[in-house]
């Protein structure tokens, strides 16, 4: 790994909003880090269906991905015990990854949604982020970011939907939306 990467203080990124591209941006940052020899852990909450970005990064040895979701959508009004268990397992994996010092970048993909669905508390996520290894960069993604994450983050990007083909009845397309 590049010596400069070892000396950098890890900062916190927040990618939120109702627009498309939060996960894609996080994966782009993961690719950038891997390109410089940094190890990356991506922990995905609520996601279990195969996607192009997951299939691609599994071919990159510097990037490890762990998924904690089923192939079914979580009902935010009635999550199952399995949904809660998967979220807890995901947070446990993220905590371990952030504190271990093994990874230069840890992405908690869709963690904001997991909090919004009350599968996790924002306080426990904040504590995990604050307790991380000082050189570990962290990305928190998903719609509905709690206001406390705005205070926590060093970078904040809000993705705003202006126009989307779904509104015209065009379904999600392989290689573009998944």
CATH of the domain at 105: 3.40.50.300
Q: Is residue 169 part of a domain?
A: no
Q: Is residue 57 part of a domain?
A: yes
Q: How far apart are CA 29 and CA 17, in angstroms?
A: 18
Mean pLDDT of all residues in the chain?
95
- What is this structure's pTM? 0.93
Q: Is residue 175 part of a domain?
A: no
- CB-based contact 152:122 (threshold 8 Å): no
Q: Is residue 71 part of a domain?
A: yes
Q: Is residue 1 part of a domain?
A: no
Q: Is residue 177 part of a domain?
A: no
Q: How far apart are CA 175 and CA 132, in angstroms?
A: 33
- CB-based contact 38:30 (threshold 8 Å): no
Q: How many domains does the chain have?
A: 1
Domain that holds residue 128: 7-137+153-160
pLDDT per residue rounded down to tens, the chain (178 residues):
555 666 789 999 999 999 999 999 999 999 999 999 999 999 999 999 889 999 999 999 999 999 999 888 899 999 999 999 999 999 999 999 999 999 999 999 999 999 999 999 999 999 999 999 999 999 999 999 999 999 999 999 999 999 999 889 999 998 988 8
Q: What is the pLDDT of residues 27-64, one digit of tens each?
A: 999 999 999 999 999 999 999 988 999 999 999 999 99
């Amino acid at each position: 790994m590049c010596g400069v990467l070892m000396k950098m203080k890890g900062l916190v990124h927040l990618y939120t909003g109702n627009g498309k591209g939060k996960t894609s941006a996080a994966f782009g940052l993961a690719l950038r880090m891997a390109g410089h020899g940094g190890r990356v852990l991506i922990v995905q909450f609520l996601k279990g269906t195969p996607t192009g970005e997951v299939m691609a990064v599994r071919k990159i040895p510097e990037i490890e991905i762990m998924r904690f979701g089923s192939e079914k959508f979580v009902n935010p009004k009635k999550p199952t015990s399995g949904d809660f268990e998967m979220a807890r397992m995901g947070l446990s994996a993220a905590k371990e990854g952030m504190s271990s010092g093994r990874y230069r970048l840890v992405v908690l993909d869709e963690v904001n949604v997991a909090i919004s669905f009350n599968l996790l508390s924002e306080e426990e996520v904040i504590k995990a982020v604050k307790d991380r290894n000082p050189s570990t960069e962290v990305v928190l993604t998903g719609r509905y970011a709690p206001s406390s994450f705005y205070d926590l983050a060093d970078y904040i990007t809000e993705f705003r939907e202006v126009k989307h083909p779904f509104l015209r009845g065009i379904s999600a397309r392989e290689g573009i939306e998944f």
